[in-house]
Amino acid sequence: MSAANFRLRLLGTGTSSGVPAIGCDCPTCTSDDPRDRRLRTSAAVQFTDHAGQSRTILIDVSPDHREQALRAGLNRCDGILLTHSHVDHAFGLDEVRRYNALMGTALDLYADEPTLQDIRRVFRHSFHSDQNQNDSFVARIVTRPIAPLQEFWIHGLRVLPLPLLHGRQEILGFRLEAPESGGPLPLGYCTDCSAIPPQSLAALAGVDTLILDMLRERSHQTHLTLGQAVELARSIGARRTVLVHMGHEVLHREVVAKLPAGIELGVDGMELSA
Ligand SMILES: [Zn+2]
Ligand SMILES: [Zn+2]
Ligand SMILES: [Zn+2]
């Protein structure tokens, strides 16, 4: 088992409303720095499996997915990992029907049971397409329930779901790794959290690269602040930490100047590879 040429592309690094926010004239929303334009947070993991086949796995499918896929040149999907069912992470799911068409197969969707319940309800037209009035072009998805700290494998990539606290709600982060692979693996992906429970912190030990939630500097009930994210990043100790899910209070050039070595702000389209 191996995952050669592993890379993770940040498809989006913005909070739920995106940046710029509709109708806002704040310095970030009116900035002409391209680093201040953020589609909703999600990522594409790409690697070559042991048989030489290139693989693309999505982490969340944002409402901006179509635009993100076009920008990144995505043309296949070998699995979808969902962190939780919030609109900004899951409501692009209709767009995956294009991968169904390109590949001629249904797609595996990995998520915890509460997330899958929401997805089956919201995307009823996909899961109960026999009840649609017309024979419509809907996504074909196979649900694969996963559970915290129960590892599974996708095409040679080991995935360990990590419980994260998103306010009072428990959602999932992921630790990704593959035997015989170097940086940025092992990689931790922890968006949408306000705290990381001890068992997940233990499971993140030794990651090379950490993707970590950071909404803004002011406190928030369901997201990490800059100060909290920096403190957590230091305690986890990855070689490289990249902050994502930023709101319009984060003006890139101002906030990046406040970061210690080894911690950086994510930018849409950023590719993390060896
Ligand atoms: Zn979010
Ligand atoms: Zn704004
Ligand atoms: Zn959320």
Chunked mean pLDDT (size 10), the chain, 274 residues: 88 98 98 98 96 97 98 98 98 97 98 98 94 90 98 97 98 94 92 98 98 98 98 98 98 98 98 94
90 CA to centre of ligand 2 in angstroms: 23
Q: What DSSP letter does each residue of 93-113 carry, written as one string?
A: GGGGHHHHHHHTS-EEEEE-H
Ligand having the closest approach to the CA of 23:
2
246 CA to centre of ligand 2 in angstroms: 11
* CB-CB contact of 118 with 89 (8 Å): no
| pLDDT value of residue 1 | 57
Domain containing 130 — which CATH number?
3.60.15.10
Number of domains in the chain: 1
| pLDDT value of residue 180 | 78
Ligand having the closest approach to the CA of 16:
1
Q: How far apart are CA 76 and CA 48, in angstroms?
A: 13
Nearest of 40, 88, 39, 26 to residue 254 by alpha carbon: 26
249 CA to centre of ligand 1 in angstroms: 16
Strand-pairing partners, residue 265, are 243
| pLDDT value of residue 3 | 83
Range of the domain at 154: 4-273
pTM: 0.97
| pLDDT value of residue 211 | 98
Q: How far apart are CA 156 and CA 138, in angstroms?
A: 29
| pLDDT value of residue 145 | 98
Q: In Å, how far from its chain's centre is CA 44?
A: 8
42 CA to centre of ligand 1 in angstroms: 9
Stated as kind and residue range, the H or E segment containing 256 is helix 252-256
* Ordered strands of the 152-154 beta sheet: 152-154, 157-166, 169-177, 187-190, 209-213, 240-244, 263-265
Residue with tokens 């419509």: 136
* CB-CB contact of 230 with 259 (8 Å): yes
